[in-house]
Structure 1
Amino acid sequence: MSELKELAWAVHDSVHAPAFPSLTYRVRRRRRRRVALMVATAAVLALVIGLPISRLENTQVAAQSSYVPGDGVSYSPGSDAVGESLVADPESELSSVAVIDPDRWMSAWSRCLPSCSYSAVVKWDGVKVAMPARSMPYQILRRGDELILLAPPDRGTSDDASWSDSFLVRLTPNGPVRTALRYARPSRTFAPKSEVLVPSLTPGNIDAVNVEKSTLRRVQPPGIQFPVSPVRDDAGRWWMLDTTDGSRILRTEDGKNWQPTTLDESSGPAFLAVSRDGRTILAGARLSGFQRVTALKMSTNGGADWHPIPVSQKLSADWPVAFNDGTALLIQTGGARENQYLLRVHDGQIAPVPADKSWTSSTSSAPRSELRGDENLISGIVELWSDPAEAHPRFPWAVLVSTDQGTTWSSFVPR
């Protein structure tokens, strides 16, 4: 029998010698395919059961650098060329910015020549990336020390075709995380701990973003008319204003029941600021279509007591920031650019802040808008003065940053 086997192998080798190496190669290739399939399956299962991002980074899935929405893992994308061109255009305007520290920030830009296009810049660990240019504005959210860039849909309804181009980017300690934004059905309540309220692009409405699930839905609390200025404190309580009976200050801890406080019975809501610890709240009201502030109320004990702040007939202010120490800042916005300056609210009084040279020098003026932050760092958008004698004019927009509650400032261009 052994001799018969040897004869069979000899005949096979003489007739089909090339087939055996080829077969061996195919076996090895199929084996590698099975291994790759097992790795891919494990990665998919990891995503399904919700493993943390830090663990996913050790898999092959985390290595992808695709710019396709919905990957949901840390990535290092390249800049979008069209978005980068929009941001670099001197005609573009800086519409929003949020700064955690000099190496972690987001900025949103717009250009309307003649139709409007929008882009944004995300910076982390020395890397700056321009987001894709789109026809709808970007929104920048902050949840504690985490920044979130929102690319919302046009209308936000279930049949809105722009959902396919909607996404959010979270700037986490591990880098940016991008996920596709999905539709969720409207409701009357929301989850204060896991959802972030944002002003809707449809005026008079608010939306809830579930950052972990990457969903967006309309929130329609009963008995609340034209809600604006939603703000969250670190305790998870949410505050906002509405137009019921003039203007009211609203607070909720469970996302279902809102506790109202009258702000002003004859004027609409203007602005709201809440400190990180939730104890200092500053709210303002104004007549519709006017800049003048008609009422200003402040609480330094989490809304248990409210005190009116006397305001002059000339007070036109906006963009307040509240601090844990019971004080607040806001911008005097009325009149010419040289009349824009900071105001401090302290001990029931409002007074101008002595100007640092950064605010009045030849390179910058008072902030135009977007004063935001906390006692550790605040930022505001400014317009740079242009000097006709300069051979290369500077970009007209910059950001001023202060780490001492507005006493001194430094600036940078968030492009």
Structure 2
Amino acid sequence: MERLREIYDDYFRDAVEWLSRHRGRRRFRPLIIVGVAAAALSVVLASVLWITERAGSGRPPIAYTPAAAPKDGHTVVNAEDAQVRSIAMVTKDRWAAGWSDCAKEPGCRYSAVIDRDGDKAVAPEWPVPYVTLRTGSEAIAVAPPPEGTLTGDATLLFRLTFDGPVTSKLRPVGSTTTFENGEILTDRIVPGAIVVVNLDDSTVRMLQTPGTRSPVCDLTGRCWLLTGVGRTDIVWTDDGGESWDSATLDEKNQRGRLTVSPDGRTLVTTAVDIGDSFETVATMRISTDRGLHWTTVEHPPWRLNAAPVAFNDGTAVVLGSRDGARTPQLYRIAEGSAHPDRGSPGMLTNLTTNAELLYSPQTSGRHATQVATSGDHGATWDYFVPR
């Protein structure tokens, strides 16, 4: 009934009130009858459509692809050997999780689950891993083109709205040098490139910028990237790419990672030795004044397992390991030094944060089947299975 009232308020209140004001005039009586009947019929039709959509919200969404519709993703998510590949969390009740099942030949199968305040939906099966992203108060899943280029097959967007799951194409629209506030920058859809995702018009486009990797936008609107061949530089823009500033971080190493705190004041970068399959840390640096001054972090982990995570209080954590150690652990970075943290919850795979939560998929046995979350910068942890 609440939805019916919303439909009435949005579309029919003004018309019915106008008709009511003229009910005493003889020449408007036929119009009153026709108008009220049309309004009532429209409410009924809209209600039927809404109820139909809500009733079917638990079913696999319809996907629009250039060839045949993909398979139902439930078989991937619920497979015996399924594991969590990625997680994007807005809150504990709003998240998107990417899943994989690699137990069967000839290759892996992928799907995703979105939770929106207790309502859940499963994305169609896809031949490459879903990318899970946060945008405002929403978590989404993007199915990249299998060819690894925007000129190939379709890029799919999977969302869970008030009226149920929606799967649609992300339309490629060439390249750009600028972007708008609210658009998403990511280097995970096309390998080796940064793309811009616009949810309002369902488009995706290549971003031509001085930066080439690790795009991060803080809550002030500033966006940061890393770049450099044989070196690591940091670049940033406050006007959506109209102009850029830059600074050199490491003149000898590249392939680094970047993290920025939500308020944009704490930054941590790492550079790794080229050619080392374990990504041995070459240098790790931290800034607590928005990149004006940098300090080299002492005693960093020998091997980097995931990008660091920075907090608004000038500290950070990083998932790494000592020389020869097979199990990664949490290191806490404070006052220019990194130290192993005793509160590490075990085998985490990829730390991420937003303004409220620190979270990561966690390996249990042979597979990552649950997610660890912390609301106090890693001091204590909770766990859940995102399916």
Offset at residue 180 of structure 1 (A): 3.0
Alignment RMSD = 3.2
1:249 to 221, 224, 234: 234
User: Relative to structure 1, is the Cα distance of residues 208 and 149 closer, same or farther in structure 2, using a 3 angstrom cutoff?
Assistant: same
Instruction: Classify the secondary structure of the residue corresponding to 1:65.
Output: helix
Alignment pair present for 1:206 and 2:186: no
Q: Which residue of structure 2 aligns with residue 70 of structure 1?
A: none
Structure 1 unaligned regions, length at least 5: 1-30, 44-57, 68-74, 360-364, 387-394
Give the letter for the 1:378 counterpart.
Answer: L
Q: Which has the larger radius of gyration?
A: 1
Partners of 1:243 and 1:62 in 2: how far apart?
Answer: 52
Match for residue 258 of structure 1? 244
2:64 corresponds in structure 1 to none
Counterparts of 2:325 and 2:138 in 1: how far apart (Å)? Answer: 33
CA shift for structure 1 position 98: 1.7
The 5 A counterparts of 1:60-209 are: 65=53, 76-79=57-60, 82-112=72-102, 113=104, 114-155=106-147, 160=152, 162-163=153-154, 166-170=155-159, 178-187=167-176, 189-209=177-197
Give, as a single letter, the amino acid of the residue that structure 2 aligns with 1:381.
Answer: P
Contact 1:375/1:405, CA 8 A, preserved across alignment: no
Asked if residue 329 in structure 1 is aligned to residue 329 in structure 2, the reply is no
Q: Deviations over 1:262-284 (max 9, x none)?
A: 12111113211111111111111
1:410 aligned onto 2:367: no
Separation of aligned partners in 2, 1:260 and 1:273: 16
Structure 1 SS opposite 2:72: helix
- Residue identity in the other structure for 2:91: D
Task: Tell me the TM-score normalized by structure 1.
Answer: 0.72
What is the number of equivalent residue pairs in this alignment?
337
Query: Please, what TM-score do these two structures have when normalized by structure 2?
Result: 0.77
Q: 323, 327, 330: which one pairs with 1:342?
A: 330
**What's the secondary structure of 2:127's corresponding residue?**
coil
Matched position secondary structure for 1:319: coil
Contact kept, 8 Å, 2:281 with 2:304, in 1: the verdict is yes
Deviation at 1:147, TM superposition (A): 1.7
The superposition leaves residues 107-140 of structure 1 with CA deviations (integer Å, 9 ceiling, x where unpaired) of: 1012233222210011122222211001132111
Partner of 1:231: 216
Question: Which residue of the partner structure matches residue 267 of structure 1?
Answer: 253
1:87 counterpart letter in structure 2: V
Aligned to 1:215: 203
| Partner SS for 1:400 | strand
Partner of 2:365: 385
1:280-319 to 2 correspondence within 5 Å? 280-290=266-276, 291-311=279-299, 314-319=302-307
2:19 alignment partner in structure 1:
none
Asked if 2 retains the 8 angstrom alpha-carbon contact of 1:250 and 1:261, the reply is yes
Unaligned residue ranges in structure 2 (runs of 5+) = 1-33, 62-70
Distance between the aligned counterparts of 1:65 and 1:228, measured in 2?
Answer: 40
Identity %: 33
Asked if structure 1 preserves the Cα contact closer than 8 Å seen for 2:348 and 2:361, the reply is yes
Which amino acid letter does the alignment assign opposite residue 284 of structure 1?
Answer: T
> Helix, strand or coil for the counterpart of 1:134?
coil
Native 8 Å contact 1:138 1:149 kept in 2: yes
Deviation for aligned residue 1:234: 0.8
Deviations along 1:308-359, one digit per CA (max 9) or x if unpaired, are: 2124583434231111111111101467776321111111111111135xx2
Q: Is the 8 A contact 2:187 2:214 kept in 1?
A: yes
> Contact 1:296 / 1:311 at 8 angstroms: preserved in 2?
no
